[in-house]
Amino acid sequence: MNFFGSLSHMFASSNKVHWVWCAVILLAMLILAVLHHRWKDDSGKLRIWRLLCLVPLIICGVHACVYVVGAFDYLGDFMGIYIIMYIIGALALIPMLFAKRRIGYRITAVLTGILSCLCGLYFCAYSPDCFNHSRESYTGSFHSLVQDMDKYYVLKEWKEIDFPALEAKYMPMVEEAENEQDPVKFCNAVKMFCNEMHDGHVNVGIRFDYSEYSAEPLIDDHDYGLALIYDHGLSMIQLDNNDIIAVCTSAEVNAVGIEDGTVITKWNGKPILKAIKEDVSDIGFSVRSNEDRIAALTLSCCGGKTVEVSFIDKSGKEQTVTLEKLEKSPTFREARIAFSHFLKEEEDINYSTRMLDDKCGYLRLNAEGTENSLQDTLGYLTGDHKWAKEMFREKLRDLKSHGMEYLVIDLRNNMGGYDVIGYALCDLLTDKEWYCQGLGVRKDGKYVSQCDQYIHGDGEFADLKVIALTNYNCVSAGDGTSLLLSKLPNVTLAGITDPSGCDQEMGGVSILSGGLAFVVYPVGLVLNEDSEPNVDTAADRISRNPVEVRIPLDHDAAMRIFRDKEDYELDWAMKYIEDSAE
C-alpha cells in the first residue's frame, strides 16, 4: 500500500504539462509503427517514413526552445530530467536504421517501444515544476514568478500568502531595477519578496558576480559567500539575559576599546534593543524566535559606511566611538559559522560515529541520503529504508561494544534529504509502532494525504538514553528527523535555537530574466496525522517543532563559541545526558 501511495504522490506532484509533451512524442512513435506496418513494402513511402522518424526529435527540439533556451546553465541543476524525454525522441531513430529488415526492425521496434514507455513513466513521475522566464524582462519574469508560486507553492494557504498583494508591493522596486538595468536591485527585490514566505525552502540563487556592480546586495541567510552590506569589524550576539555583546572583533575595534564580550549599549544613537527591533530587516526565517536570536548578528551589518557604537568599557563607563566599514572583513561570516558550529569538511562525515568518552557515543547526521539513489528511491516508495536501518544498527552495535551507555545524535546544519532515513533511525530507538507522516496533495487549497507512513519499532536500542542536538540550520528532512526523535521517550531534543521549521518536498523552480537568478520552492506535501504540514510554521511563525531543552547562552558560553571556537553545545549535551543518567 505504501509503494502505490508513494508512487501516486510522485505522479500527483509532477508537472502535467510535460506529460502532454511526452505523450505526444510517444503517440508519434506509435503512429510511426503503424505506418511502417502499412508502408513497409512500398519503397517510396518507406523513404517518407524515414523522414517522419525525425518528428519525435523535432517535437523535443520545440520543447527545448520553449523550456530550455536561455537557461542552459540550469540544465544540470534543475532541468536535467528533460533529457529523459529527449532520449525518447532519439530512440525513434533506431528502428529507422532497420526499416527494410523485417526481423531487425521487429526486434528494435519492440525494444525501443518498451524502453520508451519506461523512460516515459520515469519522466512523468519526476517531471519538474520548472519554469524558464529567462527571455522575459525584469518585470515580466517577476510577474511570471508570482504566477508560478501562486499556482504551485504548496504552502500558500497554510502561510496565508496573498501573492497579488505582494506583487503590488515589490513591483515598483522591480520596475526601478528594470529602468536602471540594475541586476543587483532586481535580485534584492526578488529576495525581499521571497522572504515574505518565511519558508526555509524558498531560496533565491544568484548566477552573476555582485562585485561588478555598485549597488549593495541584501544580506543573504542562505549563502555566506555573498558580499555583505557593511562589516565594521565586529559582530554581536544577544545573551539570555538580553545583554548584547561584541564577538569576533577585529584588531581595528580592539584598538578603540571593544573586545570580545564587551557589552554594546547603543547603535547609531539608539538603545541597542530598539535598534535591533527597528533597523534589522526581515531575512525570511520560518521561525520568528530563531530570527530574533541572530538579529543582533544581522544588525552588525547595518548602519552605513560609518556607525556610531556605544559600549561599556573596562572601568564600567559608557564610551562612544565611530567605526568605519572595513574592506574584506570576515567578522560576520566568522560569527555565523561559529554560532552554527559548521564542522570542517574532513570532520563533517555523514553517519560517522565515535566515542566522546568512556560512556557517551556520538552519531553525526548532516543529511538524510546515501550514495545509492536507487535504494533511497525504493526506501521513499516503501516507507522503509532497510539499508539505512541496518547501517544504523551496525554503527550503534559497534558503539555499544565500545562501552556506549548513552548517545548524542548531532543534527546541527542537517541539509535534509529523505525523511525515510529518519524513520530508519527511530525504528531502532523505540519498540512501538506509531504514525510518522503522510505524503499528500493540495486540492482546492486543502491538504489530503495519499500515503500514510509509520515508525515500526524494532526495539533493539529502545532503552538507550539519547540527546539530539539541532539548530536553526537543521532543515527539511533534518527538521523532520528532529521532530520524530523528540517524540521518543528516551530522546531529548536540545539546542540554542529551534530547527528551521520547514519539511516539505522541493521541486518548484522559476528561472528569472537573463538567467541572472532562480527561485526554488516546495511543491510536494509532507503532512502530519491531522493532514497539516508536518513541521512548517503557519502565518504566526511559531515553531511547531521546538527543542525540549534550551541550551543556555550566557557570557561564558558566548566566549567559548565565538572567541575560543569550542563546541560548547556538544560539551553541554554530554554533561546533560551524563547528569540525567545518574
Whole-angstrom CA distances from 187 to 79, 251, 301, 511, 512 are 22, 34, 19, 12, 9
For residue 36, tell me if it sits in a domain. Answer: yes
pLDDT the model gives residue 212 = 63
Number of domains the chain contains:
3
For residue 443, tell me if it sits in a domain. Answer: yes
**C-alpha span between 412 and 495 (Å, rounded):** 9
Which of 208, 214, 215, 207 minimizes the C-alpha distance to 189? Answer: 215
Set of cell numbers at residue 415: 541539509
Per-residue pLDDT of the chain (582 residues; tens, 9 = 90+): 577 777 777 777 888 888 999 999 999 999 988 988 888 888 888 889 889 999 999 999 999 888 888 877 777 767 778 889 999 999 988 888 887 787 778 888 889 889 999 999 888 888 888 899 999 999 999 999 999 999 999 999 999 999 999 999 999 999 999 999 989 889 989 999 999 999 999 998 888 766 666 555 555 544 433 345 677 889 999 999 999 999 999 999 999 999 999 999 999 999 999 999 988 888 889 999 999 998 898 888 877 788 899 999 999 999 999 988 887 777 888 888 899 898 887 788 999 999 999 999 999 999 998 888 888 888 888 888 899 999 999 999 999 999 999 999 999 999 999 899 999 999 999 999 889 888 888 888 788 888 888 889 988 999 999 999 999 999 999 999 999 999 999 999 999 999 999 999 998 999 999 988 899 999 989 999 988 998 999 999 999 999 999 999 999 999 999 999 999 999 999 999 988 876
For residue 521, tell me if it sits in a domain. Answer: no
For residue 208, tell me if it sits in a domain. Answer: no
Which of 524, 498, 519, 520 minimizes the C-alpha distance to 418? Answer: 524
Query: Which of 286, 317, 340 is where one domain is finished?
Result: 340
Helix (H) or strand (E) run with residue 191 in it: helix 183-195
Q: Are 431 and 491 in contact (CB under 8 A)?
A: no
Return the residue matching grid coordinates 528533460: 82
Helix (H) or strand (E) run with residue 149 in it: helix 138-152
pLDDT the model gives residue 383 = 82
pLDDT the model gives residue 8 = 79
Query: Which of 340, 375, 390 is where one domain is finished?
Result: 340
Asked if 386 and 409 sit in the same domain, the reply is yes
Q: Which amino acid is at 327?
A: E
Q: What CATH number is attached to the domain comprising 562?
A: 3.90.226.10
pLDDT the model gives residue 342 = 85
**Residue-number span of the structural domain to which 329 is assigned:** 235-340
Return the residue matching grid coordinates 521532530: 483
Which of 291, 190, 201, 146 minimizes the C-alpha distance to 536? Answer: 201
Asked if 275 and 361 sit in the same domain, the reply is no
**C-alpha span between 352 and 121 (Å, rounded):** 37
pLDDT the model gives residue 214 = 55
- Encode 277-316: b = buried (16+ Cβ within 10 Å), e = exposed: eeebeebbbbbbebbebbbbbbbbbbbeeebebbbbeeee
CA atoms within 13 A on the CB side of 202: 27
pLDDT the model gives residue 446 = 84
Asked if 424 and 401 sit in the same domain, the reply is yes
For residue 171, tell me if it sits in a domain. Answer: no
Work out the angle at residue 109's Cα, subtended by the Cα atoms of residues 106 and 114, and round it to the nearest 5 degrees: 125
pLDDT the model gives residue 223 = 41
Q: Which amino acid is at 199?
A: D
Asked if 439 and 556 sit in the same domain, the reply is yes
Asked if 380 and 469 sit in the same domain, the reply is yes
Query: Which of 101, 130, 159 is where one domain is finished?
Result: 130
What pTM did the predictor assign?
0.88
Asked if 416 and 277 sit in the same domain, the reply is no
* 3-state secondary structure labels for all residues of 19-39: HHHHHHHHHHHHHHHHHHHHH
Helix (H) or strand (E) run with residue 188 in it: helix 183-195
**C-alpha span between 403 and 361 (Å, rounded):** 8
Asked if 256 and 122 sit in the same domain, the reply is no
Asked if 114 and 42 sit in the same domain, the reply is yes
Do the bridges between strand 360-364 and strand 406-410 make them parallel or antiparallel, or are there none, so unpaired?
parallel
From edge to edge, which strands make up the β-sheet containing 306-312?
270-271, 264-267, 306-312, 318-324
For residue 218, tell me if it sits in a domain. Answer: no
Whole-angstrom CA distances from 492 to 476, 488, 547 are 20, 8, 8
